[in-house]
Amino acid sequence: MNKLFLSLSLAALFALPTALLSQQPQPQRTTIRSGELWPDDSGQHINAHGGGVLHYGDTYYWFGEHKSDWTSDALVGVTCYSSKDLLNWHNCGVALSVSDDSSSDIERGCILERPKVIYNPTTKQFCMWFHLELKGRGYDAARYGVAVADRPEGPYRFLYSQRSDAGIWPLEFSSEHQAVLDTLGTFHYQDWTPAWREAVDKGLIVKRDFAGGQMSRDMTLYVDDDGKAYHIFSSEENLTLHIAELTEDYLHHSGRYTRVAPAGHNEAPAIFKHQGTYWMITSGCTGWAPNEARMFSAPSIWGPWTQHPNPCRGPKAEITFGGQSTFILPVGDQYIFMADIWRPRRPSNARYIWLPIEFEDGKPIVRWQEEWTFE
């Protein structure tokens, strides 16, 4: 037997079981079991963390951060999965790839988090926004990034990244507020003192970042019934949420923005609208460690926003069942609360929480369920 034949036969022998395995149909899932492994159609645990879901046509597209086994830095990019029933997901591959070009803002090894995609019916483009930290700079850059595609699953073309609304004051800062801002010096306060909190509330950090642009970290997108879209993100050193209106093409900020819960320290915003009221669930700021969810409501996206008690119920409700909010998906007349159970020591093994939102006394609650399915 010649060597070539031998090695080809051996290769075929070893390749066969793997090929057969990957072709084996995966058992159909009929329920959602939060916190467990969630295999895609090839049997691999879904790798789409900090994500969101786009409903387009008769298909749902789940976008999220690809996480590797040993680091949370972006080594691959944003992944996309598709499904007709929200239970069984097909891996569509990488929607937005990080770049090997060292001059790119999304160079491999950057931090690229919480991607969300919305569809613009006028331009017929799929618009992806995400939180971006430039490679090698920790969480200092605090930018958002924007990418665009002609098809939901991509490939997405990276457009730009930047801080938010440079040179623009929030809507509520009237000309009288300028006098208040003039009284705020950056060096007069000791962090975390009541005086400092009050100064943050009045705009201490907005003023500090006015020229260079406001910080932009944990984020989501929201498209309202009238087609206007909004970027909601942690700003001001994660102390204050900003809600910024997007331009009609969904690719830029329009320059109109408001602040929510100044100095309240909120991350991981997820939003939905029910019977005319806007509801937002957020987390506190404890990095990968879970904490107690917060909830806010408002009669208009521009506020006023009112805080309510923790909406979670059941075991570990005081730490969001071990997770952190990422998105709220409307499905028919239901809303699905999506969260991530982070596993920083092995990021790819992070798990998902998907739970239906119920209403109690007119307010949303999220009750833990081991297993459930869509009505």
Provide, rounded to whole angstroms, the least separation between the CB of residue 242 and ligand GAL: 16
Q: Is 288 in the site for ligand GAL (CB under 6 A)?
A: yes
Q: Is 153 in the site for ligand GAL (CB under 6 A)?
A: no
Q: Which amino acid is residue 45, in one-letter code? A: H
Binders of ligand GAL in range 93-122 (CB under 6 A): 113-114
Residue (210 or 288) nearer to ligand GAL, CB: 288
Q: Which residues are CB-contacts of 59 (< 8 A; sequence separation ≥ 6)?
A: 82, 83, 84, 152
Residue (209 or 267) nearer to ligand GAL, CB: 267
Burial of 83 (0-12, 13-18, 19+ CB in 10 A): middle
Burial of 90 (0-12, 13-18, 19+ CB in 10 A): middle
Q: Is 324 in the site for ligand GAL (CB under 6 A)?
A: yes
Provide, rounded to whole angstroms, the least separation between the CB of residue 160 and ligand GAL: 21
Q: In angstroms, what is the C-alpha Rg of the chain?
A: 22
Residue (124 or 345) nearer to ligand GAL, CB: 345
Number of residues that bind ligand GAL (CB under 6 A): 10
Stretch that binds ligand GAL, among 7-15, 24-32, 77-85, 283-291 (CB under 6 A): 283-291
Residue where the block lists tokens 């034949």: 5
Residue (251 or 268) nearer to ligand GAL, CB: 268
Q: Which residues are CB-contacts of 261 (< 8 A; sequence separation ≥ 6)?
A: 240, 241, 296, 305, 307
Q: Is 216 in the site for ligand GAL (CB under 6 A)?
A: no
Stretch that binds ligand GAL, among 155-163, 193-201, 285-293, 351-359 (CB under 6 A): 285-293
Contacting ligand GAL (CB under 6 A), which of 43, 287, 304, 314? 287
Residue where the block lists tokens 């007069």: 188
Q: Which residues are CB-contacts of 259 (< 8 A; sequence separation ≥ 6)?
A: 170, 172, 206, 235, 236, 240, 241, 242
Contacting ligand GAL (CB under 6 A), which of 147, 205, 268, 312? 268
Q: In what order do the strands lie in the sheet with 253-260?
A: 219-223, 229-235, 240-246, 253-260
Task: Name the site residues for ligand GAL (rule: CB under 6 A).
Answer: 50, 113-114, 218, 267-268, 285, 287-288, 324
